[in-house]
Amino acid sequence: MIPQKMEGSVAPIVSARSAMLMDVDTGIVLYQKNPEERMPMASLTKIMTAILILDSHKLSEVVTVQDDFSEFKELGVRIWLQQYEKITVGDLLIGLLVPSAGDVAMALAKYHSGSVEKFVEEMNAKAYELRLSNTQFKNPIGLDEAGHYSTAYDLAMLTRYALRNADFRRIVQLPEASISSTNGKNTHSFKSTDELLGGYLDIRGVKTGTTDEAGQSVINLARTKNGKDILSVVLDSPSRFQESKSLIDWSFRSFLW
């Protein structure tokens, strides 16, 4: 069903540099602010990283971690994967999307493509396939780098594509998790970076992102009482969780399906 805006609804005040609300089923935009402005996307990047893995691999596949990530300075958050540790693709995806681990992104990229550089090429090829005309990737983590950018609209469309995968939907809802190497010797425990999980709104996760250049960003999936899914994208906000919550609450009160 097509969402209908109720008369008298006043658009919310949003301090974020860019923001968007989208109806997941139809792709109809319910609210937008600077939707086509190219901006750094921080760890929202990892949505694309997850898509390439989910589209190509079984969760049961076993990955052997090739690198000693203790020697890498620029990884952002990490779960401290050990060199030569064996761990399943499914568990690595949990480590990628729940705590947003940079070492996991690197391990998955190398497993999938043989090198990080080749993986980035595949990320950009997928962006082209999905017609994300204002998106370009330079790394699989979301580190600040010249030419690494996206927009609120492109990120909403990217997330909408990812949500077609049931495993993606399941993983991004996890408030916390523990994953282990296949021999049980290494365990990694962590909590979700999404502070809105478990609140009064029916928030079903997705992804946060923070860097110096990107600021504080978050994409949230929420479900209305009649089962309609709404995407909230908030980029470079002084209060990303509050603004995402306010936008979602506004959409629930301002639209009928």
Active-site annotation holds for 43:
yes
Q: Is 246 within 8 Å of 228 (Cβ atoms)?
A: no
Active-site annotation holds for 73:
no
Catalytic residue among 33, 46, 110, 228: 46
Query: Counting beta carbons within 10 angstroms of the beta carbon of residue 144, is it exposed (0 to 12), middle (13 to 18) or buried (19 or more)?
Result: middle
Residue 56 DSSP class: H
CA nearest neighbour of 156 among 128, 139, 135: 135
- The neighbour count for residue 65, using CB atoms within 10 Å, is 23
- Amino acid residing at 178: S
3-state secondary structure of 257: coil
The residues near 134 (Cβ < 8 Å, ≥ 6 apart) are 36, 38, 149, 150, 151, 153, 154
3-state secondary structure of 141: coil
Active-site annotation holds for 113:
no
Catalytic residue among 9, 18, 33, 43: 43
Rounded to whole angstroms, how far apart are CA atoms 38 and 123?
17
Catalytic residue among 18, 100, 150, 254: 100
Catalytic residue numbers, as ranges? 43, 46, 100
